[in-house]
């Protein structure tokens, strides 16, 4: 069921008027080209906004045609597809032989990863746009009703739920027996992962529509108040906050001592993970609302200017780009392949060489 690309982000202010490009060390130069060759493409029946999941020779992704797809990762041949009653925009999680994913129909599904046969389904109380997380036999997923749900993996039984003051659109994270999530009420939360008891919550100044990123002792939170925050993972105390050029609506990535985040002004920004010092920026013509991925010193990021970009993580220099037929979704790299979906209804696969 096709809906506007960012319809579920109406909880946040998306106005970009007056958001001029921020001009610190803009890095647009080309670096040594990355060797990338065409692999294959698969055409679905509607927008592909889901970040693909690659596992055991298969690739799984959701689509706005209300389906979850399973393809052969090397050839792109369809193995099976599973029908829901609304868009599937979140990334599934694979646990043993089960794929767990949510749909905008308000249902959390568990299907057999090899056959696509439904094992269980649990109806929750709102849209599911957040990707689920898993730890110790429990699935965690945020819902647009404002609750974070803990669901038993084996049966789909809801064990507990924790209320926030706004829709939860981004993926939760589990680390060291704590569960972290962000809400449109503007708070980042940490709960006891087993009991759901609140450990801390830290405010920002605007709704949070992306999940937090946990890296070691820090939690990184991208906010629509134009700031990237670094919080202490144990206490929630702010370590630093860096204002950027526009609202932030995608989870950051952290690698090699740097945090990388895209903005709705079209910039990709690299900051020192310890202090938040800006190291470089790369400008694209379109807003960036997808999480980047970093592999061996290369950052891949999709933009609404229809391109997928590969940047040098140290300098921000462009190493490769490819124009898709429409907005590029969140990329994933696995076993020497780059995969990215698009609102042109295609999933693209590229070989990375050298």
pTM of the model: 0.92
Rounded to an integer, the average pLDDT of 93-104 is 97
Q: What's the rounded Cα separation, in Å, for the pair 185 and 69? A: 33
21-51+253-354 to CATH, choices 3.30.460.80, 1.10.1040.10, 2.60.120.620, 2.40.128.630:
2.40.128.630
Q: Which tokens hold the place of 272?
A: 């020192």
Question: What pLDDT score was predicted for residue 1?
Answer: 57
Closest CA to 229 of 182, 170, 191, 165: 182
Question: What pLDDT score was predicted for residue 28?
Answer: 58
Question: pLDDT tens across 256-311, in order?
Answer: 999 999 999 999 999 999 999 999 999 999 999 999 999 999 999 999 999 999 99
Closest CA to 339 of 71, 132, 46: 71
Q: What percent of the chain is predicted at pLDDT more than 70?
A: 91
Looking at residue 306, what DSSP letter applies?
S
Residue 149 and residue 156 in contact, taking contact as beta carbons nearer than 8 Å: no
Give the β-pairing of 267-272 and 58-62.
unpaired
Q: Which sequence spans correspond to the domains of the chain?
A: 21-51+253-354
Question: What pLDDT score was predicted for residue 32?
Answer: 81
What value does the mean pLDDT of the chain take?
92
């Amino acid at each position: 069921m096709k809906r506007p690309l960012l319809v579920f982000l109406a909880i946040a202010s998306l106005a970009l008027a007056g958001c001029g490009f921020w001009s610190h060390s803009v890095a647009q130069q080309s670096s040594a080209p990355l060797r990338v060759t065409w692999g294959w493409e698969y055409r679905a029946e509607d927008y592909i906004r889901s970040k693909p999941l690659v596992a055991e020779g298969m690739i799984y992704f959701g689509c706005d045609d209300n389906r979850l797809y399973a393809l052969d990762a090397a050839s792109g041949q369809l193995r099976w597809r599973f029908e829901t009653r609304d868009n599937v925009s979140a990334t599934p999680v694979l646990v043993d032989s089960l794929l767990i994913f949510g749909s905008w129909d308000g249902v959390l599904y568990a299907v057999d990863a090899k056959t696509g046969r439904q094992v269980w389904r649990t109806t929750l109380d709102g849209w599911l746009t957040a990707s689920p997380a898993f730890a110790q036999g429990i699935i965690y997923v945020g819902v647009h009703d404002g609750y974070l749900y803990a669901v038993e993996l084996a049966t789909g039984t809801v064990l507990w739920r924790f209320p926030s003051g706004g829709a939860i659109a981004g993926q939760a994270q589990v680390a060291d027996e704590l569960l972290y999530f962000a809400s449109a009420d503007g708070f980042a939360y940490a709960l006891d992962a087993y009991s759901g008891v609140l450990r801390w919550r830290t405010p920002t100044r605007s709704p949070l529509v992306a999940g937090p990123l946990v890296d070691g002792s820090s939690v990184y939170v991208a906010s629509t108040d134009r700031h990237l925050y670094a919080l202490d993972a144990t206490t929630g105390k702010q370590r630093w906050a860096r204002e950027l050029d526009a609202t932030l609506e995608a989870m950051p990535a952290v690698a090699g001592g740097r945090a990388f985040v895209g903005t709705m002004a079209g910039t990709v920004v690299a900051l020192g993970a310890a202090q938040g010092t800006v190291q470089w920026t790369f400008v694209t013509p379109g807003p960036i609302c997808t999480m980047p991925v970093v592999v061996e010193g290369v950052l891949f990021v999709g933009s609404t200017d229809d391109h997928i970009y590969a940047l040098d993580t140290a300098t921000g220099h462009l190493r490769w780009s490819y124009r898709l037929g429409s907005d590029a979704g969140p990329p994933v790299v696995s076993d020497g392949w780059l995969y990215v979906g698009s609102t042109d209804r295609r999933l693209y696969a590229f070989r990375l060489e050298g």
